[in-house]
């Protein structure tokens, strides 16, 4: 398991989006913001994705490709995340999570995480997926594959 940090180089790979399209890492034309989320109907994650969705035009205008990975199947992601304007990737076996050093955490038990979960449920999230024991990680890689920053959070900020 690799824990990427700023200055490291992401190994060249091609991921498959839930729509079947290829996603090259690194992307030779754009900065990639690669997010690792929990299961697709995690109410905490969906609270934050809703915030990102409101800023989609700003993210696109900045030349950033937003890629969100869930440890759910492509089929479940397609059925649940129909209106997300970002690239979505299913990784039910958590191979990418292991590759990028996303670890298990009990951070989902914190007050902040529970508050975010309640907000997510209020916005239509369904807390019926597997236990949310993975931390969230976000990695920004430039066009050469160099990690510009990497953030590991056991809970998502609200």
Which pTM was predicted? Answer: 0.76
| Strand pairing report for 147-153 and 136-141 | antiparallel
**What's the confidence (pLDDT) of residue 49?**
87
- Structure-derived torsion over alpha carbons of residues 26, 152, 98, 86, reported in degrees to the nearest 10: -50
Nearest to 34 by CA among 58, 20, 13, 50: 13
Q: How far apart are CA 34 and CA 86, in angstroms?
A: 11
Residue 141 DSSP label: E
Spatial contact of 134 and 104, defined as CB atoms under 8 Å apart:
yes
Torsion sign across C-alpha atoms 69, 75, 79, 80: negative
User: Each residue's pLDDT tens digit in the chain (158 positions)?
Assistant: 457 788 999 889 999 999 999 999 999 999 999 999 888 888 888 888 888 899 999 999 999 999 999 989 999 998 877 788 999 999 999 998 888 877 654 444 445 545 554 554 555 544 444 444 445 678 889 999 998 887 754 333 33
Query: What is the residue extent of each domain of the chain?
Result: 13-153
Whether the ω angle into residue 54 lies within 30 degrees of 0, i.e. cis, is no
Find out if CATH 3.40.30.10 is the number for domain 13-153: yes
């Amino acid at each position: 398991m690799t824990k990427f940090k700023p200055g490291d180089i992401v190994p060249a790979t091609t991921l498959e989006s839930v729509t079947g399209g290829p996603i090259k890492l690194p992307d030779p034309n754009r900065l990639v913001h690669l997010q690792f989320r929990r299961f697709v109907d995690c109410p905490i994650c969906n609270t934050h994705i809703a915030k990102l969705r409101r800023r989609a035009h700003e993210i696109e205008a900045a030349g950033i490709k937003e890629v969100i990975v869930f440890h759910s199947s492509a089929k479940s992601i397609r059925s649940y995340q129909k209106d997300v304007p970002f690239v979505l990737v299913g990784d039910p076996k958590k191979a990418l999570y292991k590759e990028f050093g996303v670890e298990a955490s009990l951070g989902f038990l914190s007050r902040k995480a529970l508050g975010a979960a309640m907000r997510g449920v209020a916005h239509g999230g369904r807390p019926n997926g597997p236990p949310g024991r993975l931390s969230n990680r976000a990695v920004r890689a430039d066009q050469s594959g160099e990690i510009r920053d990497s953030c590991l959070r056991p809970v998502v900020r609200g």
